[in-house]
């Protein structure tokens, strides 16, 4: 394995709300190598977006990164000055959001918005900026890009807008792109096109990619490695084939079991029983134990991640299971 | 665009005709100017002659027809009281009101919008809370009271600023302006401040609400994720987005202040339109009242037109249906 471009260790981001401390991200470790894709999956509210924003240094009060380190190409980002962090954003780490209808400013021309992203990090002439912006649009598959520079977002379809967002993310050639469910709002054919194009573009430029999603089939097709998140922690992490084909953590098993295509027709879908626990009142020990079929007295203690079968798992019962 | 212009012009013409009829009937109902114009002890013959000379013996519909016919020729008639063409009279008073209104409304916008944006950007700061408190005051304290207090403090007690009048004026293209001389500016300051406090509070509230909403939106997060500085995010992305309600209110307030600055003009003896209309109502000077009200209607139509054009310039989504 090559040296990872991003190394996150013990990252904890808490929100200090009136009701109490929300531990949205609580001790996350992950790493991505150049040109590789890491899938970050987990149910709604598990802390995927907060993890992404923490890496970008975009956590607003009352949120705060309370512990951990984020190293990008060997440089520590936690604790950087606001201006130094601003220079990292967009140029070294870029992010794409879920809803392309909302991420572009409705009152500014497409070309103007892309040029602003470019000029945040470089000084260039108008002609040069225009040329680079058109080239960026062309690269993400927008036909006759020169003519589209003066268009406004509402003149573009959702898929085209997401392409524009991708063009913006790519334009400064970042080392890492965090894509937060960027295809969820799009229909399946457009989703497929965008997935394969992102994959191609990132591979060409050796850009590392963190792909946040609910959709395990997307992860299966796109990612090299996968992290499964639950209640602010990573419960299972490893090579994508291994995790999806032989899940070890009871939560991962439940997640894969609840995908419709994995069940035979007529048989009721399996679900994970219960609800996501409130992050304000997490039970001690394993956060999944209140919903876990294997939970027992041993789950009350904190479990460090252990390496089993070539991956990291956070469950006391996995040892016995994999041995069996 | 040409189609849009023609459509708007036709609308404006219809509105003006309707307004002129309403105004004419309304002013007719206020009272008979003859009682004010002629002293009670003149002979019956003189009285009848005068009534005839002003055309007041005709039925209402005929008076209206005469008025409209002259109006189309650009003639608003003559003031009974000042005995001069109404148009000249109004145009001679308009600049004073115009500069007062501009100073008040533009000042309120230029100061209020940045302050409101700040209050929306840092809603929990002490300065923002203070601003919000003050803006409530700006809404609730009556204008005449503010005017009187300002006169009391700055003119009477401190003696820094004059209590009324326009001061020295400079003539540019045949129009007298106060704001071009230091003395004129001093005269302008207190009445403009009086008029602007309410508008300032309004602008602060509007800009704050817009900012608070914008700052949570995805496009702002996305702009930050691109590494834009906060200054670029705010002035490059947010300002244009929140300016539609601001421009709307600016236009409405500009029209309303221009037309109804009466109280402030009276307190500060500012020789503008407001004072003219109050005087002409008292003396039942019908041609002036009618012309004034029509001018106000015309101004509102023009302002709304300009605001609509500003919308289209600000928000591309509103341009679509207009091609
Ligand atoms: N500003 C905030 N204040 C308080 N709590 C917050 C704030 N932002 C996020 N949270 C909490 O952090 C937790 C994780 O949220 P996050 O958005 O990361 O979930 P997610 O995994 O991205 O979910 P989804 O799949 O629905 O996008 C949630 O429980 C949420 O309530
Ligand atoms: Mg999310």
Q: How confident is the model at residue B69 (pLDDT cuts 50, 70, 90)?
A: confident
- Other CB atoms within 10 A of residue A297 CB: 8
pLDDT tens, position by position, B96-109: 888 899 999 999 99
Q: What pTM does this model have?
A: 0.83
Give the position of tokens 């109006």.
B71
**What was the pLDDT predicted at A267?**
63
**What was the pLDDT predicted at B166?**
81
**What was the pLDDT predicted at A3?**
78
Reported residue count of chain A is 324
Q: What are the φ and ψ backbone dihedral angles of B186, each rounded to 5 degrees?
A: -60, -40
The answer to whether the CB of B276 falls within 8 A of the CB of B262 is: no
Q: Among the ranges A2-16, B39-53, B283-297, which has the highest mean pLDDT value?
A: A2-16
Q: Where are the domains of chain B?
A: 88-276
- Ligand 1 near A24 CB (within 6 A): yes
**What was the pLDDT predicted at B39?**
74
Q: What are the φ and ψ backbone dihedral angles of A152, each rounded to 5 degrees?
A: -105, 160
Tokens of A70: 């984020």
Domain A4-80+209-323, CATH among 2.60.40.10, 3.90.1150.10, 3.40.50.300, 3.40.50.720: 3.40.50.300
The answer to whether the CB of A321 falls within 8 A of the CB of A306 is: no
Q: Is the per-residue pLDDT at B322 higher than 50?
A: no
Q: How confident is the model at residue B313 (pLDDT cuts 50, 70, 90)?
A: confident
**What was the pLDDT predicted at A41?**
93
Indicate yes or no: CB of B222 within 8 angstroms of CB of A58.
no
Q: Could you tell me the strand order of the sheet in which A75-76 lies?
A: A20-33, A4-17, A63-72, A75-76
Q: Is the per-residue pLDDT at A98 higher than 90?
A: no
Tokens of A69: 């380190």
**What was the pLDDT predicted at A247?**
85
Q: Is the per-residue pLDDT at B320 higher than 80?
A: no
Mutation target vs B (from A61, A92, A105; most B CBs, 10 A cutoff):
A105
The preferred substitution site among A14, A39, A49, A99 for testing ligand 1, maximizing ligand atoms within 8 Å of CB, is A49
Give the position of tokens 């991003």.
A6
B221 touches chain A (CB under 8 A): yes
| Residue A92 DSSP one-character state | T
Distance from Cα A44 to the centre of ligand 2, integer Å: 7
Give the position of tokens 């956060």.
A287
**What was the pLDDT predicted at A321?**
53
The answer to whether the CB of B319 falls within 8 A of the CB of B312 is: yes
The stretch A80-87 carries a mean pLDDT of 92
The stretch A192-200 carries a mean pLDDT of 85
Q: Where are the domains of chain A?
A: 4-80+209-323
**What was the pLDDT predicted at B206?**
94
- Other CB atoms within 10 A of residue B47 CB: 15
**What was the pLDDT predicted at A53?**
94
The preferred substitution site among A25, A41, A46, A235 for testing ligand 1, maximizing ligand atoms within 8 Å of CB, is A46
**What was the pLDDT predicted at A208?**
93
The stretch B208-228 carries a mean pLDDT of 93
**What was the pLDDT predicted at A324?**
46
Superfamily of domain B88-276: MetI-like (1.10.3720.10)
- ipTM metric: 0.89
Q: Is the per-residue pLDDT at B71 higher than 60?
A: yes
Distance from Cα A50 to the centre of ligand 1, integer Å: 6
Q: What is the CA radius of gyration of chain B?
A: 24
The answer to whether the CB of A156 falls within 8 A of the CB of A114 is: no
- Give strand ranges (E) for chain A: 4-17, 20-33, 37-41, 63-72, 75-76, 93-96, 176-180, 208-213, 225-230, 233-239, 306-308, 311-313
Q: What is the CA radius of gyration of chain A?
A: 21
Ligand 1, atom 11: closest residue by C-alpha? A24
Indicate yes or no: CB of B227 within 8 angstroms of CB of A89.
yes
The stretch A284-304 carries a mean pLDDT of 81
pLDDT tens, position by position, B243-270: 988 988 898 888 888 887 888 888 888 8
Q: Is the per-residue pLDDT at B318 higher than 80?
A: no
| DSSP H or E run through B65 | helix B60-72
A58 touches chain B (CB under 8 A): yes
The whole-angstrom separation of Cα A202 and Cα A34 is 9
The whole-angstrom separation of Cα B302 and Cα B12 is 9
The stretch A145-157 carries a mean pLDDT of 90
Q: How confident is the model at residue A193 (pLDDT cuts 50, 70, 90)?
A: confident
Ligand 1, atom 25: closest residue by C-alpha? A44
Q: Is the per-residue pLDDT at B110 higher than 50?
A: yes
**What was the pLDDT predicted at A323?**
45
Ligand 1, atom 7: closest residue by C-alpha? A15
The whole-angstrom separation of Cα A155 and Cα B317 is 9
The whole-angstrom separation of Cα A57 and Cα A95 is 12
Give the residue with greater pLDDT, B192 vs B81.
B192
* Mean pLDDT, all residues of chain B: 85
| DSSP H or E run through B172 | strand B170-172
Question: Minimal CA–CA distance to A106: which of A71, A51, A151, A65?
Answer: A151
Query: Three-class SS of residue B64?
Result: helix
The answer to whether the CB of B131 falls within 8 A of the CB of B225 is: no
What's the 3-state SS for B277-310? Answer: HHHHHHCCCHHHHHHHHHHHHHHHHHHHHHHHHH
The whole-angstrom separation of Cα A88 and Cα A71 is 12
């Amino acid at each position: 394995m090559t040296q990872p471009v991003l190394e996150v260790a013990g990252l904890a981001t808490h929100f200090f709300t009136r009701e109490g401390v929300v531990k949205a991200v609580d001790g996350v470790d992950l790493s991505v190598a150049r040109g590789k894709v890491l899938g970050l999956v987990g149910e709604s509210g598990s802390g995927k977006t907060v993890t992404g924003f923490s890496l970008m240094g975009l956590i607003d009060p009352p949120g705060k990164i309370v512990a951990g380190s984020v190293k990008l190409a060997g440089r520590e980002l936690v604790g950087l000055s606001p201006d130094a962090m601003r220079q990292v954003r967009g140029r070294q780490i870029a992010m794409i959001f879920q809803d392309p209808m909302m991420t572009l400013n409705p009152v500014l021309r497409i070309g103007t918005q892309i040029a602003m992203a470019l000029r945040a990090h470089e000084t260039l002439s108008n002609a040069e900026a225009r040329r680079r912006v058109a080239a960026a649009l062309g690269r993400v598959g927008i036909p006759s890009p020169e003519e589209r520079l003066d268009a406004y977002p509402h003149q573009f379809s959702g898929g085209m807008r997401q392409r524009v967002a991708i063009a913006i993310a790519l334009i400064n050639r970042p080392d890492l792109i965090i894509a937060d469910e960027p295809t969820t709002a799009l229909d399946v054919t457009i989703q497929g096109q965008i997935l394969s194009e992102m994959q191609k573009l990132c591979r060409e430029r050796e850009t590392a990619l963190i792909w946040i999603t609910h959709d395990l089939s997307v992860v299966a097709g796109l990612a090299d490695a996968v992290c499964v998140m639950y209640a602010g922690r990573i419960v299972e992490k490893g090579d994508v084939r291994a995790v999806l084909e032989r899940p070890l953590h009871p939560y991962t098993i439940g997640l894969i079991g609840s995908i419709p295509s994995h069940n035979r027709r007529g048989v009721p879908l399996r679900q994970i029983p219960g609800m996501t626990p409130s992050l304000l009142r997490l039970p001690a020990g394993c956060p999944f134990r209140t919903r876990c079929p294997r939970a027992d007295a041993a789950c009350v203690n904190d479990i460090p991640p252990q390496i089993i079968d070539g991956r990291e798992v956070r469950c006391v019962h996995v040892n016995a299971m994999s041995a069996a | 665009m040409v189609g849009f212009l023609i459509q708007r012009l036709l609308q404006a013409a219809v509105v003006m005709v309707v307004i002129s009829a309403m105004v004419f009937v309304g002013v007719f109902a206020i009272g008979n100017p003859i009682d004010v114009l002629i002293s009670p002890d003149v002979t019956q013959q003189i009285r009848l002659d005068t009534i005839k000379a002003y055309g007041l013996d005709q039925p209402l519909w005929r008076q209206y027809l005469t008025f409209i016919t002259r109006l189309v020729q650009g003639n608003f008639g003559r003031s009974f009281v000042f005995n001069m063409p109404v148009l000249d009279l109004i145009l001679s008073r308009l600049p004073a009101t115009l500069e007062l209104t501009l100073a008040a409304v533009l000042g309120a916008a230029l100061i209020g919008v940045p302050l409101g944006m700040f209050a929306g950007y840092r809603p929990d700061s002490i300065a923002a809370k203070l601003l919000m408190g003050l803006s409530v005051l700006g809404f609730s304290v009556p204008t005449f009271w503010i005017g009187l207090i300002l006169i009391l403090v700055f003119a009477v007690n401190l003696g820094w600023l004059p209590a009324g009048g326009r001061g020295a004026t400079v003539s540019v293209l045949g129009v007298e302006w106060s704001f071009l001389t230091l003395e004129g500016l001093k005269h302008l300051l207190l009445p403009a401040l009086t008029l602007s406090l309410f508008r300032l509070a309004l602008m602060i509230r509007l800009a704050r609400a817009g900012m608070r909403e914008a700052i949570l939106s995805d496009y702002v997060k996305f702009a930050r994720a691109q590494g834009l500085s906060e200054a670029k995010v705010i002035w490059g992305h947010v300002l244009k987005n929140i300016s539609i309600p601001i421009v709307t209110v600016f236009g409405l307030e500009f029209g309303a202040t221009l037309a109804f600055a009466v109280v402030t003009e009276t307190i500060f003896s500012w020789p503008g339109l407001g004072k003219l209309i109050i005087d002409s109502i008292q003396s039942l000077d019908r041609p002036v009242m009618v012309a004034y009200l029509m001018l106000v209607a015309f101004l509102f139509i023009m302002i709304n037109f300009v605001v609509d054009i500003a919308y289209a310039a600000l928000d591309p989504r509103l341009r679509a249906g207009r091609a």
